[in-house]
Amino acid sequence: MKLNEIQDLIKFVSKSGVSEVELETKEIKIVIKTPKAAGQQVMMQSGPVMMAQPTAQMQPAVASAPAPADVKATPPANGIDESKLITIKSPMIGTFYRSAGPDKPSFVNIGDEIAPGNPVCIIEAMKLFNEIESDIKGKIVKVLVQDATPVEYDQPLFLVDPS
């Protein structure tokens, strides 16, 4: 089974809502389990057991949605109505980086204006560095993840004020 076929299978399973899929051929055994948490684990067995995660080709664009309903509707002390903020979420599992390298400046900081297509961070998945681009226009209000920390699929990364 080729890597792109495995990736397609992972995509299909993640979209279908199935909690577990097992596929076995002569060469390989694949077990895909999607726990109730946001992460995905894929177990590939062909002799020794290896853990794999979905790669960058799965979803290069940033998914964004309105802030969760549990955010307070009253304006906080800084004068921003959090109910109108948009969340930029991680499109994949990996390691979150705010800049292209240790000696490079951050892609975005609090207060920066962003537009669709602007890079906001990098997520490393399986030794691939995936530049994550904004698909919304607005101002960065809060960075929700620390640099060089693991992130899950659909985990909030940034809060953006679209006004």
Confidence (pTM): 0.52
The domains located in the chain, with CATH, are 3-52 (no CATH), 57-161 (2.40.50.100)
Tell me the pLDDT band of 82, cut-offs 50, 70 and 90: confident
What tokens were used for 113? 């204006």
pLDDT per residue as tens digits for the range 85-106: 999 999 999 999 999 998 999 9
Between these two residues, 26 and 42, which has the higher pLDDT value?
A: 26
